Structure 1
């Protein structure tokens, strides 16, 4: 399925593609200094983000003073399509740019916008998101990290877990409980916390993929003092802001999911054409069927995605977002599974990467994609949560 756009949109696409050709980081630059986590901003990425911000291409749907050019949703679609087609990341700090900065712009004071949001837009700082806790994952309202207001500052104690990029982030957008006596959906506030504040301990969590550069972390807060002027929005009104923050993450999740699934499908077809002839008889037929099933998934995702996009363009809501989140992430997992099996031993780079050779590196392989795909079905709302949303809001089924 292919959309046809008007001349003005195609002119926008051509302008951006021309700008990319003249300004994009080279593959050699990115490979020589890779981003080691979702909050690590290597030298080339700092320059790249700053350049995109100055020229209005960082978030084209935003006004120029905030790194955009007031582009509409259709232009944003072709912008993201072009980035993925060209293999260029918009940012190496996706939660910072996609969740933290928009939330500060929505709820923060002018001083907070200038101090915390604008440096991320310029590529000078990075942010992590302090939400999940050992007993508060999908149920964020169950969080127990405490922040007690004491005069002109808060004192924070507690623990976060699965915090992406905390080992590299400059600051944390921290959700904490400021009124323990209020119902669990109330009494939550958000603080902006410098990660070098005394009392913060970051402990990276071992990962099977890239064990030498883990992205997920535990973060411990022990009597951490945070100035009161680093409270975002109103005290005890963090739940509404939490929903707004996640809305930024899920806002056009179908588009990101569809485009990434299509990119993975293109890679998969290249490999499948090369690897399937090595199989014989029913084994080849079974593998071919699985590749075709994944291709059908990709086409279906594209069609459903465009339908949801059309609703958004007309100003409506798109409850199919939950469907797209579950469908695209699970489809990518199935695709990575069949390609990892097709590669067999070739799907593993058996280079020892951990102490004593206990861990293996799967860098750049379908095995790596398969392992990473499980995170996609969990982050930004698990597939199980998405199914609950689909049942209630799309199908109208009882709770």
Structure 2
């Protein structure tokens, strides 16, 4: 067992820390940012572009796509240093981590340079058009359709819960192109610019943050999309879907570990029940980091272990939810006015790090839903870890 990083990894870390020390935007430049704003602020676009140009945006990528061919351990160190400082490398996380990543995996060379590079350089923003009113966790039930008409697809349908669509320039959209095929087949993926006629975006608030208009309904009415915007093979979009979510999940547990650290920092036990809950929170945090480190080691050795990602997601998301719930009840009415985190740095002045206990608790439900619900993760664990028969 090795409990420290190799010299080359620490050298990688030191180089990145030096870059952050020299280039991190100052607090007077990084004005408060909210997802309900009309667009990503210019300073944030410049920051993302600076990371891209220096190979620090997504280090695993080759240099032409904002990276430096980093190993998985170096990727972990990169995210760890960002987390320590509460730094976002992008204010368009789905565009960066899912849409651009999917284009690099499944797109043509033209699509990579026309769309992915522009997303990575923050020249345009992107959102993910997956969920529909009747197709949330069961994506294969989607009904938005695209019919080929010469050199175009004509798209009709609706998406919902589309984060960031209101200020996105393009949507990576999953559509049904063969209604006669089994539901996991006959799906294709289109890049749909949001300025095309027939695209309507309607942002709406959530119960956990009424002023944060991140979610959207998106309507497509006779939208004519160039056939060259087809990503991957026609009617083979399910592989793109699973690849897209895979990009989202690889180091997802680090985000939960960070939220648990926030809870440990802010939650002040005041009763025996609180002390017990706090102790459980400490153990969950340590367990998540240890299991995550083990999964990271397996991935560094080239071993595929999808089930471990499901275990980490269930543990992390539900530990955050349980901890926030206990803090909420412990604080009572004061939970509605719980102060911002003050003991951890926040150089980018991000207002989503200053929420009260009630908002933290309500937001925690997103973690048990997005990226694959806890129920779906438990099914994967049952089949792939416990060897139980398919239901």
**2:301 is the alignment partner of 1:314:** yes
Instruction: Determine the C-alpha separation between the residues in 1 that align with 2:254 and 2:303.
Output: 16
Instruction: Determine the C-alpha separation between the residues in 2 that align with 1:79 and 1:162.
Output: 30
Whether the 8 Å CA contact 1:25–1:48 is kept in 2: the answer is yes
Whether the 8 Å CA contact 1:156–1:225 is kept in 2: the answer is yes
Superposed CA offset, 1:90-124 (max 9, x none):
21111111111011111112221122111111111
Whether the 8 Å CA contact 1:129–1:172 is kept in 2: the answer is yes
Shift of 1:329: 0.5
Corresponding residue of 2:262: 264
Corresponding residue of 1:398: 389
Q: Unaligned regions of 5+ residues in structure 1, if any? A: 351-360
Shift of 1:344: 2.6
Query: Against the structure 1 CA distance between its residues 138 and 29, is the aligned structure 2 distance closer, same or farther, given a 3 Å change threshold?
Result: same
The secondary structure found in structure 2 opposite 1:154 is strand
Corresponding residue of 1:84: 83
Corresponding residue of 2:346: none
Superposed CA offset, 1:30-72 (max 9, x none):
3x24042599522221011000000110011111111011111
Root-mean-square deviation (CA, aligned residues, Å) is 2.1
Q: How does 1:1-399 map to 2 (within 5 A)?
A: 3-30=3-30, 32-36=31-35, 40-258=39-257, 260-268=258-266, 271-272=267-268, 276=269, 279=270, 284-318=271-305, 319-349=307-337, 364-399=355-390
Instruction: Determine the C-alpha separation between the residues in 2 that align with 1:3 and 1:52.
Output: 29
Whether the 8 Å CA contact 2:260–2:320 is kept in 1: the answer is no
Instruction: Determine the C-alpha separation between the residues in 2 that align with 1:161 and 1:130.
Output: 8
Instruction: Determine the C-alpha separation between the residues in 1 that align with 2:135 and 2:38.
Output: 22
Whether the 8 Å CA contact 1:349–1:363 is kept in 2: the answer is no
The secondary structure found in structure 2 opposite 1:25 is coil
The secondary structure found in structure 1 opposite 2:282 is helix
State how many pairs are aligned.
376
Shift of 1:184: 1.0
Whether the 8 Å CA contact 1:39–1:127 is kept in 2: the answer is no
The secondary structure found in structure 2 opposite 1:62 is coil
Whether the 8 Å CA contact 1:39–1:165 is kept in 2: the answer is no
Query: Against the structure 1 CA distance between its residues 40 and 296, is the aligned structure 2 distance closer, same or farther, given a 3 Å change threshold?
Result: farther
Instruction: Determine the C-alpha separation between the residues in 1 that align with 2:82 and 2:106.
Output: 29
Instruction: Determine the C-alpha separation between the residues in 2 that align with 1:152 and 1:296.
Output: 57
Shift of 1:293: 0.8
Specify which structure has the bigger relative contact order, considering alpha-carbon pairs within 8 angstroms and separated by 6 or more residues: 2
Shift of 1:299: 0.8
Instruction: Determine the C-alpha separation between the residues in 2 that align with 1:153 and 1:13.
Output: 47
Whether the 8 Å CA contact 1:39–1:164 is kept in 2: the answer is no
TM-score (norm 2): 0.91
Whether the 8 Å CA contact 1:254–1:324 is kept in 2: the answer is yes
Corresponding residue of 1:353: none
Shift of 1:24: 1.2
Greater than 6 Å deviation, 4+ residue runs: none
Instruction: Determine the C-alpha separation between the residues in 1 that align with 2:290 and 2:236.
Output: 38
Whether the 8 Å CA contact 1:96–1:127 is kept in 2: the answer is yes
TM-score (norm 1): 0.90
Superposed CA offset, 1:129-154 (max 9, x none):
00011111111111110000001111
Shift of 1:2: 9.6
Instruction: Determine the C-alpha separation between the residues in 2 that align with 1:343 and 1:88.
Output: 28
Q: Unaligned regions of 5+ residues in structure 2, if any? A: 339-351
Whether the 8 Å CA contact 1:38–1:95 is kept in 2: the answer is no
Whether the 8 Å CA contact 2:178–2:235 is kept in 1: the answer is yes
Instruction: Determine the C-alpha separation between the residues in 1 that align with 2:242 and 2:74.
Output: 26
Shift of 1:193: 0.5
Instruction: Determine the C-alpha separation between the residues in 1 that align with 2:173 and 2:205.
Output: 23
